[in-house]
Structure 1
């Protein structure tokens, strides 16, 4: 969740800054509306996209080593995280407040529609309300003061302005961003997105009025004269939104088609850089020169043999890899066993064991392809460590229980950090955090 929020926020912020610096000042309002909405969709989708690029490093090996794996064990960790519970309680209370506010304003608008007179007007409906207010729009309803309507005190430009909001369905944009503000109330970026979207709506409506009536000075004076009337509802499109220098200048601005196309083309590197920084993950894969030679030849009889782990009478299968030879338990059962250890602090239950993508032999090959034998290592010994397989399959919390020295433990941890995400352990078909122990016996080759 934290990873999603961080990545989406980075994307939202970068695209919003680009909009304010490059696009907002240009008169290409339809494109800018699409850009703002697409920025929201793109920023929410990109954290879920990960493309791994394997970088292969060829390294010659002078001292091949045999690595022996004993059967690892796993155990589910059930822990009570009071701080997480408190966070979700606070989040839920505040989100409920904003949700109630959102629903309350929707009900206020719908009650106005039901309680007042409605008249057909072009492709919209006029709602005549008693309170003194400027015209404002919600979906295909235009709310205007009843007295002003019958006394013909509403200029034609104002009707045209509100009809643009109706035809282009600007209310849907506002409802979308307001919904996101309710769910992600802690993220101030959405406040700025809403302001940008609403201002763009006014640019679009002003553009239509100017194109229809061709009297910019009169329309500007009309807007300034109406600028002091406040509007209590935040879910509607209204004439009086940010009558500022930006809006008045946009009426007289002219952006050539060539300039607009060039500005739009600059978006390509922006989206490419964001996608590369957020979604592209480089995975280092070391491959020794000896392994490259083995790839070109067929399996020899020396590539499969029988060996015995220290102090265990088990059948072992030897798999040749790059700079190491890996010897793994040839377990008869398809599913490795799990420990059933219980404690008051960390209650343990039987689970579906986490698994490396491709199975245990693929995991051993991965270790062999990436493990670099410390040059100082002369003897043999065992490295024992534990690590946590998280709910999303990532590895964390590496703890060394027994170290052979000469940097062997650090090297095992380094290789494990290169690992792709595992298939997480499950309890009752629900992903759980699992503590995994891994004994590794390192023997010098003869």
Structure 2
């Protein structure tokens, strides 16, 4: 309940910050659309920002830990230690007081429960009001004749209600207004509908239901609705020639007392302010700084209330001769491996630890001498808490006993820990081994080997392509038309001159096409050479990455994770993606070449057309000569 109370205080403070910033700085400015989003951002910020907490960690020196108790190996230096938990008993004697007179039990009021009940009553009441408003709106819209115009749905009603819009619905009573007044009203409502102002109305209504007890939210709602009217008035007045008639329409609509809730009403209170804002000059752009004035206040809010300081102890550096083990609160079982432990017993031990205690145990790299005695073994352990340990023993002689303790830690989780090498053997307990060379490793998540980073695949070189010659048919030189009268010598002479000019222009395109094809081949060849070099480097890097991943796999299998396997599937997928990218580049190049060939074909066809026209002109000249000789 305290956390909820703190959230309400923070949210109310943020809401008040945005509201007073709007009232004192922005209310008289004409940046109505910017103010709309400013006010909506205030609502969202007041709910989201109290949950944004920045955690600041302060590192402190740890308390001195008890000195570790090293265990001694008979043949080699053993890297292990055990930490003893200090237990202190406190003896106390209970003290009983004899009450001579019984105290009367006082009645206490649970104010948290009272507050919750009051909030619930208010919430339910406003939800019922919200549902009734929706029902009333549906009653107005249901069964009405709808006139669809563009994106708007017009509904002409007979009731004496103020015009309003709800999403793309615009409702009005045409019998109450003149044609010009109705035009003004519809232009106003179209702005509400087109800019989706109904969403703003619904959002503010939801906030008023959730925070009905906060007076700031009701003032905030009024500011949002008033700004929406400013937006609609401003946009509508741009499309209306007679602004005075629009203002008179505003005054006329004030006579309507019936309004439908959760809609954008044409009639709102504060008509005087709306008329003043209609006649006000546009604000200067330099006043936009006022929207950013709230940022320092938000920064101060975060610094004062949203930074949580956590003190953590510094981790002590572990020396190579010390190995921390799981803290066992209560030891339930001891497991020991001896030189005579068989492979079957090791397998049975694995299943027993897993089924009885949910502990992971794995034995590998097992070697035996001629007497079937263990000389080498690697044991991997994993507790329920996530603690991982590896014990590796290798030598020429039979291993010595090694004991593991199974119990529970302070959190109640099952854990297994190395108790020591060659300890005294308890009765009826299996026994573990030690040898000439013993290596014990403990791993936390922070100690895990870091996997290598895969190389980034190369990208085919991009850049501007050679500029293609203009081969658009509409921009090509037009072939001249032969004269209708072949006897007209002046027209024939002009036609021959135009034909010669046309052939000259067509011939001029051939060098441009050859140059374009040459540039295309040179450009693509250079880029392919660069890409091939980068691909060769990438393949070398991928081979190196594969070898590093194999090494990482061995380290993980040996030191950290029992079942880790490296799969080069991702590497193959990367190579496949590069090949697909290379194929797309080839297809793109092919399309460019096809385009060049088609353009060349067009030029050839136009040249052929020019030759045919020249041939036709020659035939016309022959006809002219024949006609002259006959005459």
User: Under a length normalisation based on structure 1, what TM-score does the superposition of the two structures give?
Assistant: 0.58
Return the match for 1:35 from 28, 33, 38.
38
The aligned counterpart of 1:47 is 50
Name the CA distance, whole Å, in 1 between partners of 2:267 and 2:19: 23
CA drift of 1:44 comes to 0.6
Q: Larger % of helix: which?
A: 2
Q: Which has the larger radius of gyration?
A: 2
Secondary structure, counterpart of 1:259 in structure 2: helix
Return the match for 1:225 from 246, 249, 252.
252
Q: Which runs of 5+ in 1 are unaligned?
A: 73-79, 306-311, 314-329, 339-446
Q: Give per-residue Cα distances to partners, 1:193-225, cap 9 Å, x unaligned.
A: 211110111011011022222544433333233
1:143-154 to 2 correspondences below 5 Å: 143-148=171-176, 152=179, 154=181
Q: Aligned in 2, Cα 1:336/1:248: closer, same or farther, shift over 3 Å?
A: same
Return the match for 1:126 from 132, 147, 154.
154
Return the match for 1:93 from 121, 127, 133.
121
CA drift of 1:86 comes to 3.9
The aligned counterpart of 1:336 is 411
Name the CA distance, whole Å, in 2 between partners of 1:155 and 1:53: 61
Q: Which runs of 5+ in 2 are unaligned?
A: 67-84, 91-107, 332-404, 414-631
Structure 1, 81-90 or 271-280: larger mean CA deviation: 81-90
Return the match for 1:11 from 3, 10, 14.
14
Q: Which has the higher contact order (CA 8 A, sep 6+)?
A: 1
Name the CA distance, whole Å, in 2 between partners of 1:24 and 1:282: 39
Return the match for 1:140 from 147, 154, 168.
168
Return the match for 2:193 from 152, 159, 166.
166
Secondary structure, counterpart of 1:155 in structure 2: helix
Name the CA distance, whole Å, in 2 between partners of 1:191 and 1:69: 61
1:238-317 to 2 correspondences below 5 Å: 238-251=265-278, 252-260=280-288, 262-283=289-310, 299=319
1:362-401 to 2 correspondences below 5 Å: none
RMSD: 3.9
Q: Give per-residue Cα distances to partners, 1:319-377, cap 9 Å, x unaligned.
A: xxxxxxxxxxx994135369xxxxxxxxxxxxxxxxxxxxxxxxxxxxxxxxxxxxxxx
Q: Larger % of strand: which?
A: 1
CA drift of 1:10 comes to 1.2
User: Under a length normalisation based on structure 2, what TM-score does the superposition of the two structures give?
Assistant: 0.42
Return the match for 1:236 from 240, 255, 263.
263
CA drift of 1:162 comes to 0.5
Q: Aligned in 2, Cα 1:336/1:232: closer, same or farther, shift over 3 Å?
A: same
Name the CA distance, whole Å, in 2 between partners of 1:139 and 1:304: 67
Q: Give per-residue Cα distances to partners, 1:114-167, cap 9 Å, x unaligned.
A: 133322234211222222233111121111115237x63733221100110000
Name the CA distance, whole Å, in 1 between partners of 2:20 and 2:89: 53
Secondary structure, counterpart of 1:132 in structure 2: coil
Q: Aligned in 2, Cα 1:102/1:157: closer, same or farther, shift over 3 Å?
A: same
How many residues are aligned here?
A: 302
Name the CA distance, whole Å, in 1 between partners of 2:291 and 2:37: 12
8 Å Cα contact 2:167-2:198 kept in structure 1: yes
Name the CA distance, whole Å, in 2 between partners of 1:71 and 1:242: 76
Name the CA distance, whole Å, in 2 between partners of 1:331 and 1:223: 85
Name the CA distance, whole Å, in 2 between partners of 1:175 and 1:152: 31
The aligned counterpart of 1:389 is none
Please say if 1:111 is aligned against 2:139. Answer: yes
8 Å Cα contact 2:18-2:294 kept in structure 1: no
